[in-house]
Amino acid sequence: MTDVPHPGEFIAEELEARGWLQRDLAYILGVPEQGINMIISGKRGISPEMAKALGEAFDVSPIFFSNLQNAYEMSRASAPDPSIAKRALFQSAYPVREMIKRGWLEDTPVPLLEAQLMRFFRKNDVRDIPGLAHAAKKKSYDEPANMAQLAWLFRVKQICSEMVLAPYSERRLREAVGELLPRHMMDPEEVRHVPRILAECGVRFAIVETLPKALIDGVCFWLDDNSPVIGMSTRFDRIDNFWFVLRHEIEHVLNGDGKGIPDEEIEVDIDLKLENDGLPPCELKANAEAADFCVPKVQLDSFIMRKAPYISEKDIVGFARRIGRHPGIVTGQVQRRLDRPEYLARLKVKVRHHIAPYAVVDGWGEPAPVAL
C-alpha cells in the first residue's frame, strides 16, 4: 500500500504557514471547530462541499482538495480480485454470462471457469481458445457477433459429439431428399420425422437456440469424414423457413462442404436469403436447391405466371395441395418471388413445438442433456 498522507496533514501545514489556528479556519468556514479537528486528525474525509469551501479559504482550486482525498482513499483501497480481469476478458470474447444462463457453462470461480472454457472449445490451453487473444488487444466494442456464432457452433458440436449413429450414407441421404422428406411437407406435425430420417442416413441433427445478436439460421460441419452434423436455430419458427434451412444444410452435406476445415473457419449460415450478391458458389447452390425443394421452380414459375399479381389464399391452398406441400411453404416462396414479405403471412405456421419432442433441443429455458 502506497503511503499517501491524509489531506488533513496538508491543511495542518497550511494553517501553520498562515499562522492560523483550527478555530480560525472554523470561523472562516462557518463550521464547528470539532469538524475541522476531525479532518486534520484524519478521522474524517473532505466532502465535495468542504473541498469547495477550503478552496475559497485558501484561494486554490477545490479540485486540489478533492484530488488529495481521492489519492488518500485509493491508496487505502483493497486490491481488486484478480479474477475480475479474467472475467472481463472472457466476456469480451464470448457471451459468457449468457452461456452460463443457458447451462452451457456453470457459474464457478475463474480457475474452474477457465477449465470449462477449455473443455467447451476443446483446447488444452486457455490461450488457444479462438478469439481470446484478440479480445485482450481490441480497443473498440463494435466487434461483430462472430464469437457468439462460434460459441453456438461449439455447443452444436458438443451436443452432436455425444450422439451414436451409423456412418454417413450419401446414397441414403439423397434418397431421403428425393422421396422420404417430401412426404412429410404437407402437415406441420410431420416435421417430427426429420431427426429420425437424418439419423438413419448417419447425419447428426440438433436444434440450438441462437445467442443474442447472432442471426444464426443453421450450420453444416463434419466431426470426421463419416460424421456430418446439421445444426439449426429455428430462429424464425415458421414452416417455410424450417424446410428451407434444413434443405440448405443438407445440400452442404451432400456436397461435402466444410470437410477438414478447422472449427474457427467453419461458416455459420446467417440470415439466409436467396440474394446472390457476394455469395460463394456453394451457398448459391445450397440456396437454389433449398428453394426448388420447397417449391419446384418450374411449377412455381408456371403458377406465378398464371396467377400473379392477384394470388388469393384459395390459389395458394389449391396449388400447395397439388404439389404436396403445406400452404405456408408455398407462401414463403411466393413472398420471396414477389418481394412481398407480408403476403398471407398467417399461413406460415410454427413447427418447433412439433419437432422438439423428437429432436435434441437446446434453449428456450431448457439445456440439452449433455455433459458440461
pLDDT band at 137 (very low <50, low <70, confident <90, very high): low
d(CA 120, CA 157) in angstroms, rounded, equals 9
256 conformational bin, left if phi > 0, alpha if psi -120 to 50, beta if neither: left
- pLDDT digit string (tens) for 28-81? 999 999 999 999 999 999 999 999 999 999 999 999 999 999 999 999 888 888
Is 83's pLDDT higher than 80?
A: yes
Residue 124 is given by DSSP the state: S
Give 219's strand partners. Answer: 231
Question: Could you give the strand order of the β-sheet that contains 228-232, starting from the edge strand earlier in sequence?
Answer: 269-270, 216-222, 228-232, 204-208, 360-362
pLDDT at 205: 98
Of 131-135, 168-172, 209-213, 252-256, least confident by mean pLDDT is 131-135
Q: If you average pLDDT over residues 177-182, what whole number do you get?
A: 94
Is 136's pLDDT higher than 60?
A: no
The distance of Cα 364 from the centroid of its chain, to the nearest Å, equals 14
pLDDT at 14: 92
Length of the chain: 372
204-208 and 216-222 as β-strands: parallel, antiparallel, unpaired?
A: unpaired
Is 139's pLDDT higher than 50?
A: no
Is 138's pLDDT higher than 80?
A: no
- pLDDT digit string (tens) for 185-208? 999 999 999 999 999 999 999 999
Structural domains for the chain: 7-76 (1.10.260.40), 83-143 (no CATH), 145-372 (no CATH)
Alpha-carbon distances, residue 359 vs 75, 116, 231, 349 (angstroms):
58, 26, 11, 19
Rounded to the nearest 5°, which phi and psi values hold at 70? Answer: -65, -45
d(CA 147, CA 97) in angstroms, rounded, equals 14
Q: What angle do CA 197, 273, 170 make, to 5 degrees?
A: 30
Cell 451436443 found at:
159
pLDDT band at 273 (very low <50, low <70, confident <90, very high): low
Q: What angle do CA 90, 94, 95 make, to 5 degrees?
A: 105
Of 8-17, 31-40, 139-148, 219-228, least confident by mean pLDDT is 139-148
Is 145's pLDDT higher than 60?
A: no
Amino acid identity, position 227: S
Q: If you average pLDDT over residues 298-310, what whole number do you get?
A: 90
Of 11-15, 81-85, 224-228, 313-317, least confident by mean pLDDT is 81-85
Contacts 24+ apart (CB under 8 A), 155-159: 155/104, 155/120, 155/208, 155/362, 156/206, 156/208, 156/219, 156/229, 156/231, 157/221, 157/223, 157/229, 157/263, 158/104, 158/120, 158/370, 159/206, 159/208, 159/360, 159/362, 159/368, 159/370
Is 121's pLDDT higher than 60?
A: yes
pLDDT band at 274 (very low <50, low <70, confident <90, very high): low
Helical segments of 41-142, H only? 48-58, 62-76, 83-93, 96-101, 110-120, 132-137
Write down the pTM of the prediction: 0.82
